[in-house]
Amino acid sequence: MTSYGLRNQTYPDLLYLLEFIERIKEEGERILKENAPGKTSRINPHSIFWMVAAIAVFYYTDFYIAVRFDPRIHR
């Protein structure tokens, strides 16, 4: 049987596919290193904003007094 040159045509395609897979693998590893969970901090501007907002609401309202001394609340 003759191969009709199929071997010469598919071999470069296979090399291209292997190079493509290697580039995708390297890109994936780079993205994982950039976004590693160990690098991120739990304290960021968004968290600080919500903590300050919660403290301000608690401080400027009578929530604590209402919970502590209101006779309608049965503990």
Q: How far apart are CA 72 and CA 75, in angstroms?
A: 10
Whole-model pTM above 0.85?
A: no
Domain boundaries, the chain: 1-39, 41-75
**Residue type, position 47, single letter:** S
- Residue 9 pLDDT > 90, yes or no? no
pLDDT for 27 equals: 94
At 39-57, the pLDDT tens digits run 667 788 999 999 999 999 9
Residue 50 has what pLDDT? Answer: 96
Q: Which of 13-17, 24-28, 43-47 has the lowest mean pLDDT?
A: 13-17
Tokens representing 38?
């160990």
Of 11 and 55, the one with more pLDDT = 55
